[in-house]
Amino acid sequence: MISKIIAEDLVVKVKKAIDAVDKIVIVAHVGPDGDAMGSTLAMWHYLMTIEKEPVVIVPTPFPAFLAWLPGADCVLDYENHKEKADQLFAEAELIFTLDFNQASRMAKMADAVINAPAPKILVDHHLYPGDFAKVTVSYPEISSTSELVFRLICRMGDFSKINLAAAECIYTGMMTDTGSFTYNSNNQEIYTIISELLKIGVKKDEIYRKVFNTYSADRIKLMGYCLYHKMKIYPEYRAALITLDAEEQKQFSFQNGDAEGFVNIPLSIAGVDFSVFMREDPEKIKISLRSQGSFPANKVAAELFNGGGHLNAAGGESYISLADSIQKFEDALPNYKAFLE
């Protein structure tokens, strides 16, 4: 039995909203990851089975390792399809916003979504949701938005409408947002849900291989380079930092998503509980933070890098140079010593 986490009144509101319309747009956050793509596409497949007209629109293209997801070829990215997307937002009767809870996480797509006349339904698992949605389904204790989508569909009485494609998308989001069930994954119901997905026909080992074992040689070389030349350990603070500037990315023919997961690697070093990865983008420094135990990666992200996220997995951005961002991080490390276990 899976517990009824989502409040009944929210389930009723979502069901009514879906029943009343045909044209539904589903959006996720900038730099969509496995959970953003998994949850939006799962919702897309579900809405198709109940004969709605859904479309998934993401602010920026998704990484190549998610291109195999069923339905990914139908996803529009705002960067390359702005005109079409703007029209779809304007015509939408309902907009689902999945896997983020602040409008700013939609980057350049934010205004178009927020100003669209359609009511929004937010489904997400991050802390502190904003108030842009008519219905807010926010459960930070749930480890992925994909799991929440599964729970929501079941609660609407439609478990039988979760087809294999939707199940594969849900499993992918659950797997990627928990580091293949190595963090945020102690809730036993996760495995009850996985068992249901396996019954539908999901081949979990195959999904792992498709997501994690399809990297380019350049990415693996880049990983080696980062670990050998660019990883700095701060033993006193049980911390590690890896940085990558624009020139280095060019050298390794950097593709969207190539550095995905690098930030997790230093956590496997004995004595490291906090790991940070900084990458220089044309307009900003993109920062990923990971921790284990009770060290609050989201607090550091919020206080230093205009970001946020979960206790053990957070992100942010910095608008000063890479060198200055590194300095800022190193200067602040002593302030967080008290949070080490």
- The site for ligand 5GP, by CB under 6 A, has a size of 12
Q: Which does 147 bind (CB under 5 to 8 A by kind): ligand 5GP, Mn ion, none?
A: none
Which residues are bridge partners to 58 per DSSP? 77
**Residue from 126, 151, 155, 238 binding ligand 5GP (CB under 6 A):** 126
Which residues are bridge partners to 290 per DSSP? 275, 313
Q: What's CA 265's distance to the chain center, in Å?
A: 18
**What does the block give as tokens for 195?**
């068992």
Nearest approach, Cβ of residue 174 and ligand 5GP (Å) = 13
Q: Residue 260, interface with Mn ion (CB under 5 A)?
A: no
Nearest approach, Cβ of residue 121 and ligand 5GP (Å) = 19
- The site for Mn ion, by CB under 5 A, has a size of 4
**What does the block give as tokens for 288?**
């990923």
* Per-residue contact flags (x/-) with Mn ion for residues 172 to 211, judged by CB under 5 A: -----x----------------------------------
Residues 136-175 that bind ligand 5GP (CB under 6 A): none
**Residue from 307, 311, 318, 325 binding ligand 5GP (CB under 6 A):** 307
Q: Residue 99, interface with Mn ion (CB under 5 A)?
A: yes
**Residue from 27, 280, 308, 326 binding ligand 5GP (CB under 6 A):** 308
Nearer to ligand 5GP, 155 or 312 (CB): 312
Q: Residue 59, interface with ligand 5GP (CB under 6 A)?
A: no
Q: Residue 35, interface with Mn ion (CB under 5 A)?
A: yes
Q: Which residues contact 169 (CB under 8 A, 6 or more apart)?
A: 37, 38, 39, 41, 42, 45, 69, 70, 71, 146
Contact assessment for residue 106 and residue 100, using Cβ atoms and an 8 Å cutoff: yes
Residues 310-339 that bind ligand 5GP (CB under 6 A): 310, 313-317
Name the residue number minimizing CB distance to ligand 5GP: 315
Nearest approach, Cβ of residue 63 and ligand 5GP (Å) = 11
Nearer to ligand 5GP, 100 or 237 (CB): 100
Residues in contact with Mn ion by the rule CB under 5 A: 35, 99, 145, 177
Residues in contact with ligand 5GP by the rule CB under 6 A: 33, 126, 288, 307-310, 313-317
